[in-house]
Amino acid sequence: MGWEPLLLAAVGGLLVGFLLTLFGGGGSVLATPWLVYVVGLVDTHAAIGTSAAAVAVNAATGLAAQARAGRVKWPCAIVFAISGLTGALVGAHLAKQVDGKSLMMWFAFAMIAIAVSMLLPKRSEGDPGVHLKPAMVLKLAPVGLVTGLAAGFFGIGGGFLIAPGLMASTGMTMANAGASSLVSVTLFGTATSASYAASGMVVWPLFGALVLGGAAGTLAAMPVARRLESRAALARSAFAVLVIAVALYILIK
């Protein structure tokens, strides 16, 4: 593999890391289209497996930071993640049975759904002191299973589904849900990429480039995030429109 694909993958990783840091989700959905249409990775399944592995690493890095800040509600997050693990493995297995063209079409529809969820008004109320209760498990488990299935099938982090699912199932705040969702994003990404890697569908040099670029993007976004605090809603809406535009491009192609 020449240096050009690696450089392009690193630029894509930088973009994804930058957007993830700014908006807390949604950015990882651009990784697969970037690998296919910019880097030139012709195998859609390899693109999904490679991006899923990179998403898992980026999510684990973010989880470590959120855990140090004390924002992760571990009992709720673990129940959700474990219940979704089976779903992620099943989803990855099903995706490998779908031909690449059809998979990209469904991926584009998923991108549109993510963008729409980013345009919806966000609710910040909730209980910052929430604790896991037996009744919550009955809500967390099925939502986690379905979310894991979607994350595994599309090879995405699924944070746009996980955070609302945690809030609806437990009543925790949006800040706690965003931080706690990274447990599932890490686990789902790891499970999905492991499934693809077992089938030889992860391009490790591109994975390394994505991760390195993602780290640089995270560092670059930190000062920008502080400046955008007063215009976060407008910036998030603009990014959602960008995601829809990319999805439409995929459907046209």
10-residue mean pLDDT profile of the chain (253 residues): values are 91 84 67 92 93 88 84 93 93 92 87 79 73 89 90 78 83 83 89 94 96 87 68 72 86 85
58 to 43, 44, 133, 208, 253: CA distances (angstroms): 23, 21, 30, 11, 29
- DSSP result, 146-163: HHHHHHHHHTS--HHHHH
State residue 219's pLDDT score.
81
State residue 217's pLDDT score.
84
State residue 117's pLDDT score.
75
0.75 exceeded by pTM: yes
Contacts of 203 (CB under 8 A, 6+ apart): 41, 46, 50
**What are the structural domain ranges in the chain?**
3-252
Query: Angle at which helices 159-170 and 74-95 pack, to 10 degrees?
Result: 140
State residue 234's pLDDT score.
73
- Residue entry with tokens 């973009």: 15
CB 216 within 8 A of CB 16: no
The CA distance from 93 to 202, in Å, is 14
- Alpha helices (runs of H) in 120-253, residue ranges in sequence order: 134-154, 159-170, 174-198, 204-227, 232-252
The CA distance from 92 to 104, in Å, is 14
221 to 11, 20, 140, 218, 241: CA distances (angstroms): 14, 9, 32, 5, 20
